[in-house]
Chains A and B, each alone.
Chain A
Amino acid sequence: MSNNTTKKFINDHSTEQAKKEAILRKPQVVSQNQSVSVKTKIRVENLNFFYGNVKALNNINLGVAENSVTAIIGPSGCGKSTFIRVLNRMNELVPHTRVEGKVFLDGHNIFDPCCDVVEIRRKVGMVFQKPNPFAKSIYENIAYGLRVNGLKDPNVIEEKVIQSLEKAALLSEVKDRLHDSALRLSGGQQQRLCIARCLAVEPSVILFDEPCASLDPISTAKIEELILDLKKQYTIVIVTHNMQQAARVSDVTGFFLMGELIEFGPTEKIFTAPSDKRTEAYITGRFG
């Protein structure tokens, strides 16, 4: 079912696809030229990342268009999770790490000393590999994010909790037990709760770090449908091990290998006519 949605979607947006191709080919021009109709949401320039002395990311350059889904694929240990965790500065929590280069979010470098990391993390939401709801009720899991961001009115909070659950396609399943522990939900429901929690604080970008890695196929299909739906309002970057998933949900795909961005382009092109041999080898399953 989700396959059909994907195809339909690609046909509907073929012109948008063409615009994105144009952006990808000439990244520098786009970031300066405001007249282009598709806005670049995130621009990564000369990004290097180190764990101690080990270089995990080597000179990454790419641009992510607003309201698109960008998939990051590659074998284990290629740096794709490291990359996505740089985008909301989550990797700073790991001791002895260092970052070089620039990441622009809406034109502002997120590593700028005057940039507030807490605000960046609110704007750039994240859904993790393993569902990680707090040991609180379903309701409190979502209300928490609202409260830490200064919302106090209980009526507004309740309204937003309901809205977020609705957006994450979870409301119908949990509406009678909002005050039950979130830990009682199934894995797939927990992951959608994590998405709802993330949506509640109104980010503009959502990072998915292998969101379906620990889920069964039906839950995975639900999350994928959700991602396609969320694309209308949010810019999405998703790391995935599953290449069918990348093909199903993304507009643009980046292939990482040993800390380098080997190829970055429209998903259709990457999966049908990759320009790099290594990309082709990975996609056809010769390694990884």
Chain B
Amino acid sequence: MRKDITQKLGFAILTLCLLITLFFLGAIIFFIAIRGIPAISWEFLTQPPRRAMTEGGVAPAIVGTFYLTLGAIAFALPLGVASAIYLNEYSPRSFVVNIIRMSINNLAGVPSVVFGLFGLALFVKFFNFGVSILSGSLTLGILILPLIISASQEALMAVPQSHREASLALGATHWQTIKNIVLPEALPGILTGVILSIGRVAGETAPILFTAAAFYMRGFPRSLMSETMALPYHIYALMTEGTRPDKQTTIAYGCALILLVLVLCVSAIAIILRQKHRSSYVQ
């Protein structure tokens, strides 16, 4: 076959793949929006559920998901970034460290329900935090820890060695170099990891099933130690239990739409931060 024909064929296949991906992406947003929009109203966003969850709103679930996500990031971000710094900047490149790295990457592949059971055993029972926002946040935090560590490690590795050398050659200490040169340059990459984690945390059901989620609550969670409703679990509950599937399905799609928008909003904040940071340094 002639070279230019092969090339055209190659590009055609790549374009087709992209179009298929775009189709599914568009289809998800379209279906969720079409089915969810009828449920959305001011009441839906601000009121707790009524009449066995067939009417009213989902405000406690929105607030709960927001708290859980925030809690998980607040726990996992400092811990993950610090671990990545240690692994990448301080630890010698030894056999043991390689094993640790591999283990962390494998941890990212563990099914989330396993984390749920682990959270139940450790946080709910052993530490006696009970079924609470605290237990749920910690469990979700551990779930995304590998994600944040590997994203941070990659971001740190992408900082040119010559910048570290330049800093050390000026008489800066190792720590000064990390704090002032390496971390600021790695920040955009680390934020990318955070963005991915937010999507993951907000949507996870299994890890909060035994650690944080309540089937129904009349009001908002009052403290770290209280149970909470959460959007993904609420969708699950609406679709599997209850007496009026017809009404509940609409509410479930409404929840899905809110979840989508919520994740988009939080990600947008992280993306804006990242762009702002980038443009202040490069060009």
Q: Say yes or no: is B47 at the interface (Cβ < 8 Å to chain A).
A: no
Q: Say yes or no: is B222 at the interface (Cβ < 8 Å to chain A).
A: no
Tell me if A135 and B185 are in contact (CB < 8 A). yes
0/1 interface trace, chain B 171-204, chain A, CB 8 Å (1 if under): 1110010001100110000000000000000000
Tell me if B169 and A198 are in contact (CB < 8 A). yes
> A119 vs B93: C-alpha distance in the bound complex, in angstroms?
26
Tell me if B171 and A148 are in contact (CB < 8 A). yes
Q: Say yes or no: is A183 at the interface (Cβ < 8 Å to chain B).
A: yes
Q: Say yes or no: is B109 at the interface (Cβ < 8 Å to chain A).
A: no
Q: Say yes or no: is A104 at the interface (Cβ < 8 Å to chain B).
A: no
Tell me if A148 and B180 are in contact (CB < 8 A). yes
Chain B residue numbers with a CB within 8 Å of A118 are 171-173
Q: Say yes or no: is B245 at the interface (Cβ < 8 Å to chain A).
A: no
User: Which positions 159-175 of chain B face chain A at CB distance < 8 Å?
Assistant: 160, 162-173
How many residues does chain B have at the interface if contact means C-beta atoms less than 8 Å apart? 23
Known contacts A90-B165, A93-B165; A135 and B281 CB within 8 A of each other: yes
Chain B residue numbers with a CB within 8 Å of A122 are 170-171
Chain A residue numbers with a CB within 8 Å of B28 are none
How many residues does chain A have at the interface if contact means C-beta atoms less than 8 Å apart? 29
Chain A residue numbers with a CB within 8 Å of B176 are 148
> A136 vs B167: C-alpha distance in the bound complex, in angstroms?
13
Known contacts A144-B180, A145-B172, A149-B171; A132 and B166 CB within 8 A of each other: yes
Tell me if A134 and B170 are in contact (CB < 8 A). no
Tell me if B282 and A132 are in contact (CB < 8 A). no
Chain B residue numbers with a CB within 8 Å of A136 are 281
Chain A residue numbers with a CB within 8 Å of B169 are 88, 90, 121, 125-126, 128, 198
Chain A residue numbers with a CB within 8 Å of B6 are none
Q: Say yes or no: is B92 at the interface (Cβ < 8 Å to chain A).
A: yes
Closest Cβ of chain A to B186, distance in Å, is: 11
> A168 vs B170: C-alpha distance in the bound complex, in angstroms?
16
Chain A residue numbers with a CB within 8 Å of B167 are 134, 144, 148
Closest Cβ of chain B to A4, distance in Å, is: 33
Closest Cβ of chain A to B245, distance in Å, is: 56
Q: Say yes or no: is A181 at the interface (Cβ < 8 Å to chain B).
A: yes
Residue of A93, A144, A197 with most chain B CB atoms under a 10 A cut-off? A144
Q: Say yes or no: is B223 at the interface (Cβ < 8 Å to chain A).
A: no
**Cross-interface CB contact of B170 among A95, A121, A135, cutoff 8 Å:** A121
> A125 vs B92: C-alpha distance in the bound complex, in angstroms?
26
Q: Say yes or no: is B106 at the interface (Cβ < 8 Å to chain A).
A: no
Residue of A123, A135, A198 with most chain B CB atoms under a 10 A cut-off? A135
Q: Say yes or no: is A64 at the interface (Cβ < 8 Å to chain B).
A: no
Q: Say yes or no: is B7 at the interface (Cβ < 8 Å to chain A).
A: no
Chain B residue numbers with a CB within 8 Å of A197 are 166, 170
Q: Say yes or no: is A184 at the interface (Cβ < 8 Å to chain B).
A: yes
**Cross-interface CB contact of B166 among A95, A123, A128, cutoff 8 Å:** A128
Tell me if B162 and A121 are in contact (CB < 8 A). no
Tell me if B282 and A181 are in contact (CB < 8 A). yes
Tell me if A134 and B163 are in contact (CB < 8 A). yes
Residue of A134, A197, A201 with most chain B CB atoms under a 10 A cut-off? A134
Tell me if A194 and B283 are in contact (CB < 8 A). no
Q: Say yes or no: is A39 at the interface (Cβ < 8 Å to chain B).
A: no
User: Which positions 103-130 of chain B face chain A at CB distance < 8 Å?
Assistant: none
Chain B residue numbers with a CB within 8 Å of A128 are 162, 165-166, 169
Residue of A90, A119, A148 with most chain B CB atoms under a 10 A cut-off? A148
Chain A residue numbers with a CB within 8 Å of B184 are 135
Q: Say yes or no: is A241 at the interface (Cβ < 8 Å to chain B).
A: no
Q: Which residue of A lies closest to B184 (CB)?
A: A135
> A235 vs B163: C-alpha distance in the bound complex, in angstroms?
24
> A184 vs B282: C-alpha distance in the bound complex, in angstroms?
8
Chain A residue numbers with a CB within 8 Å of B281 are 135-136, 181, 183
* Contacts A/B (CB < 8 Å), 9 sampled: A88-B169, A90-B168, A125-B170, A135-B163, A144-B180, A145-B172, A148-B167, A148-B170, A183-B281
Chain A residues engaging chain B, CB cutoff 8 angstroms: 88, 90, 93, 95, 118-119, 121-123, 125-126, 128, 130, 132-136, 144-145, 148-149, 181, 183-184, 194, 197-198, 201
Question: With A93-B168, A198-B169 given, can you name 15 additional A-B contacts, CB distance below 8 Å?
Answer: A93-B164, A93-B165, A119-B171, A121-B170, A122-B171, A125-B169, A128-B162, A133-B166, A134-B181, A135-B282, A144-B172, A148-B167, A149-B170, A198-B170, A201-B171
